[in-house]
Structure 1
């Protein structure tokens, strides 16, 4: 009897071995039976490309670096070791869910550091401000793992409150899961600091924190509400002392008090704020409350941001246009007398003959167009000529503002799901990764440089609509060189992606 060879079978008539993988010569019945078995077997689900990256073990990268240095060869291309390690981690994030945070941070989130005057003296605090669509504003305390949230001497400053129990959601298969400790603890106050009549539309810090360890502590925050009957409101949150106080700020000047306030941003100097309304965009003096419109439009300003120079405000409109407005008053030309412009509705051939009117100090040739209404826009701190924007049809693009006349984005990020929800995306402090929730309740992470989708995970049953990192733009990186700690808010809970 002929011996069996792995991968081969023996044909008695032909007196020779044939490979099992290929068709058997002269035997159609065997081939057809093998084909039927293949069709009957369930087809395995192929992993997306971004999940395959997690199989690239850190040990292999370390071995390659020892031989080649920081510049390693990967997939026949040269790559940076540090970047590949960061992409590997972003492909497999660790996610924590905090209990008792339902309906707290689904409208706005802001994380920062401040010095608070307590009964024990001037004390540094890590604070997370959460705003909800129900109009509630909560000031939560954040503590690193291993540190206590507050001691007995501070209890009188808190008026009760509970510690939010963390629950590890990702990765789903963790050995000794009960031994895994959360990187951060969260404390929720007994009552919210504000009960507005409408949704919290934005939370902005007044005055930016410095990049160094010794920073100027943030003392106030600007809170805006949407307005239930078209009457948006502005509030100041005092962070200098506990308990934190919220006081309203009435608008003066030619800024209408009967407008919907969709968004806001504060200048780096902390002296002025820009607010986006259904009537246009206005500049407000934070000390006096006096304001005036620097952009008039029949299309709502849904998103805006101050440029780093402080002289330009970039506004995203409901009709999909993004305009850069110079907010410096010209000699003899105050804001009430704004220049009128007729702007093309879009770059599509169908809309070339259609125009809409804008009033303000803008350059019509530098208008950027998104397919539908804007949901969020941000400029990169490292390269201030790069502008990232998202629209309600799920489009996320990165533009070079020096090339807007060509009308082509330098990068596009595929996979985002949206149709009508105002979803805020986030850019990590190192400006390497983009993170955003979607209407399908998935949270996705992209590489900003390559546009590659690195991970997509569903850990919330509601839309993760807001995301934030620490307000320190260039915060110190951890020992492994990776910036951690994105906070995400949905109606279900507040999450921390580590």
Structure 2
């Protein structure tokens, strides 16, 4: 009976992860997916000079509406955070906003496609412009944006109104939660003097390791060294949703936004019901997973039943919420890590998983099969944070230099990995 059940669940996972597939004599797959894997395995890599130490702890790509001489214009921005306490905004593309006097960084091509076709283009993804920089009192631990504003095909307004940023804190002070207004001007300022657009909504006595924003931007959850808390952005009130003796170093809301996945330094992954009141111990736990090392990153997939977990021993696993007691559904092997908090990324189609390693390599896997598609070293630093642009739904307004690749941050600076 156990073997039958195991085969049954394996077929369910195969259908849910792979969808409609065709079977050849050699292996299972489909033509479109195989072509996408082929292109993803031969990326173009671009490096942005003079961006060192800007983006080794947090990185987000957003669309914003800005007023220019031509009227309201949709622009792309990169929000970066670092161990050196710096938060910086970059504008992406060839056209600067009116009045910007920031420094320009033009990318250099490091690697090009090995597949030569008539459609292969070595067009640069464009320069980035340093718009503003903020010096905080401790390192930046997280940057997140409301999921409602992740551009989708049916979105009318995909411009992000604000971003949430958290600072880790130090041995003498706790971390803070900041709201960054992206629809108004952000002032440049010297260290210790905050300008317009930055609002500290909460300061804690504990360290803040991780955070995630609700889709409407009204609330957020944060992970600390004593548990997790729910924060109301408008009222600036907080409510503890769980307590823990182990640090919550990674955290992710599920798609329903009723449950939150918490990854602990002890190696445990627990699901907490945010609607329940916090007791002295974990409250509202729906399931438990234990791995050998701290859980440094969690990603909930669009399919509500699946999530990815990356741990500091280098392993990355795919789990099914319904069957956590049976262990991982898929294992992604080959990554190298021992103690670094590395943020893995998933492309918008959720076909590919990308992560850096302590050996300075960047790797990419097929989420469905677990096959490693790409492995290479092109920097002398840990590729510690990355994000994929969500895509502009208004294709007629999309800049010609827009590429569906990933932004990558490290102590060596910003990179762009074009997988198209």
Question: What residue in structure 1 maps to residue 414 of structure 2?
Answer: 494
Q: Does 1:455 align with 2:405?
A: no
Give RMSD over aligned pairs.
2.5
Does 2:381 correspond to 1:435?
no
TM-score by length of 1: 0.72
Q: Is the 8 A contact 2:68 2:98 kept in 1?
A: no
Are the counterparts in 2 of residues 429 and 474 from structure 1 also a CA contact under 8 Å? Answer: no
The answer for the alignment partner of 1:198 in structure 2 is 138
Matched, 1:88 2:38: yes
Q: Deviations over 1:62-101 (max 9, x none)?
A: xxxxxxxx98776723431111111111111110001111
Query: Gapped runs of 5+ residues in structure 2?
Result: 1-19, 188-195
Q: Does 1:360 align with 2:310?
A: no
SS of 1:85's equivalent? helix
1:112 counterpart residue number: 62
The answer to whether the 8 Å contact 1:207/1:218 transfers is: no
Counterpart of 2:192 in structure 1 is none
Q: Answer yes or no: is 1:276 the counterpart of 2:223.
A: yes
Q: Offset of 1:439 from its aligned partner?
A: 0.1
How far is 1:376 from its partner?
A: 0.0
Distance in 1 of aligned mates of 2:344 and 2:323: 23
2:52 pairs with one of 102, 123, 126:
102
2:182 is aligned to 239
Which residue does 2:193 correspond to in 1? Answer: none
2:325 aligned counterpart, secondary structure: helix
Post-superposition shift, 1:234?
1.2
Q: Which has the larger radius of gyration?
A: 1
Unaligned runs of 5+ residues in structure 1 are 1-69, 330-334, 341-357
Structure 1's consecutive aligned runs of 4 or more residues displaced over 4 angstroms after TM superposition are 70-75, 172-175, 471-476
CA distance in structure 2 between the partners assigned to 1:417 and 1:114 by the alignment = 36
1:386 aligned to which of 293, 303, 306: 306
SS at match of 1:360: coil
Match of 1:346 in 2: none
Higher RCO (C-alpha under 8 Å, 6+ residues apart): 2
* Number of aligned residue pairs: 379
Q: How does 1:231-270 map to 2 (within 5 A)?
A: 231-243=174-186, 245-251=196-202, 257-270=204-217
Determine if the alignment matches structure 1 residue 134 to structure 2 residue 72: no
Partners of 1:495 and 1:475 in 2: CA distance: 25
Residue 324 of structure 2, aligned match among 404, 420, 424: 404
The alpha-carbon deviation at position 181 of structure 1 amounts to 2.7
Q: In the alignment, is the contact (CA less than 8 A) between 1:128 and 1:139 conserved in 2?
A: yes
TM-score of the pair, normalised by structure 2: 0.84
| Compared CA separation, residues 163 and 444, structure 1 to 2 (3 A) | same
Distance 1:138 1:405, change over 3 A: same
Q: Deviations over 1:170-218 (max 9, x none)?
A: 139899xxx94313332223x51x1012110000113522412533421
**Which of 102, 108, 125 in structure 2 is aligned with 1:167?**
108
Measured in 2, the distance between the counterparts of 1:375 and 1:475 equals: 35
How far residue 249 of structure 1 moved from its aligned partner, in angstroms, is 2.3
